[in-house]
Amino acid sequence: MLLNIVTVVVTVLYPLAIWFGHGQIEPRWLAGLLLLAAAARLPALRLSGLARWSVAGALVLVAAAMWSNLLLPLKLYPVLVNAALLAGFGASLFTPVSAIERMARLSGQQFPPAAQAYMRTATQVWCGFFVFNGAVAFGTALWASEAVWSLYTGVISYALMGLLFAGEYLVRLRFKRLHHV
């Protein structure tokens, strides 16, 4: 539980810490934040090959930032997170149970085919979001100022994610009403 809280706090505050630290703290020392984010994911390594790849990618970014003392590897972390989420959600589209259905089944509920199709579509929408969000994070990492990168990855992307959650929730309520699910 505490490790989950640390993971969320580090992930949410990471872009702001990079922005505030830029020019104040050398990137090789800021890499410690990314190392902390990767360390917080260590318990998930037993559960998922995707988590192992994600942590390995974070460690490569840490090593690159420490070796080069450049900020760019640290700014690429949100791109890595979106790529990992896209890989996980996208891979589930090639299985009988999509990622969103898998999460919904944690409640122990079984779903009719119409609901399964809806959840597969919702998974596809999230894949599209991860492509868009990762591309914008990549573009801001390469071509925007640290302030713009931090604003997008630390505020705007979370707002967009919240809007997508809220929109999907409203669509789901309508779907349930129309299909009596």
Residue among 5, 30, 35, 8 nearest 20 (CA): 30
* CA–CA gap between residue 65 and residue 74 (Å, rounded): 7
Element (H, E) at 100: helix 99-104
Element (H, E) at 52: helix 49-68
Give the residue ranges of the chain where pLDDT is below 70.
1, 3-4, 41, 44-47
pLDDT value of residue 65 = 93
* CA–CA gap between residue 156 and residue 73 (Å, rounded): 21
Question: How many other β-carbons are positioned within 10 Å of the β-carbon of residue 83?
Answer: 20
pLDDT value of residue 47 = 63
Its pTM stands at 0.88
Q: Token digits for 36?
A: 């902390």
